[in-house]
Amino acid sequence: MRNPLSLVRAVPAREWPSVVAAVVIAATVEAGLRVMRLPRLAAWLGAPLGLELESPLMPADGGTTRLTAAERRRLRAVWRVLRHWPFGDTCLRRALVSGHVLRRRRPVLRVGVAKIEGRIQAHAWLEIDGVSLDPVGAATYQAFEAMGGLR
């Protein structure tokens, strides 16, 4: 883990409100991961778990290009906070916190699995309007709904 003071020094003054909000949301997500089931937590945060079968996604070319400047600033704050997060910077935490930040865009949380180098690995990412914000994840991992889901 990097020095938390490096986070303080690196944040421009105009981004502090987004960083503080990201810390509060991350703490809420951390508690929620321990006391709630994932579908309920994701829905409560505003990024419901997508378990319905749909047509395959067309990966976005840099999915964040569709976001406003304010939304991109909030996502930068989330990524900055989670890089220093004491409980780890996992894709699930990142997707849940980002989903709450982008909740007005009605994101959907996707969870997928893939066999990589002989090991089964899981990954979580967000979709907005059917476009993945993580095109590599969407292309590499098979969405969990195809295997029966997490209900």
Confidence tier at 55 by pLDDT (50, 70, 90)? very low
Q: Would the pLDDT of 149 be above 70?
A: no
Mean pLDDT for the stretch of residues 33-57: 84
**Rounded Cα–Cα distance for residues 151 and 146 (Å):** 13
Question: According to the model, what pLDDT value does residue 135 have?
Answer: 79
Contact by Cβ (8 Å): 126, 135? no
Between 52 and 89, the more confident residue is 89
Question: According to the model, what pLDDT value does residue 74 have?
Answer: 93
Write out the residue range of the structural domain in which residue 60 sits: 4-147
pTM: 0.80
**Rounded Cα–Cα distance for residues 77 and 80 (Å):** 5
Confidence tier at 56 by pLDDT (50, 70, 90)? very low
Q: Which residues of 22-46 are buried (b: 16+ CB within 10 A; e: fewer)?
A: bbebbebbbebbeeeebeebbeebb
Note the pLDDT tens digit of each residue in 82-95: 998 999 889 999 99
Note the pLDDT tens digit of each residue in 8-32: 566 676 778 888 999 999 999 999 9
Domain tally, the chain: 1
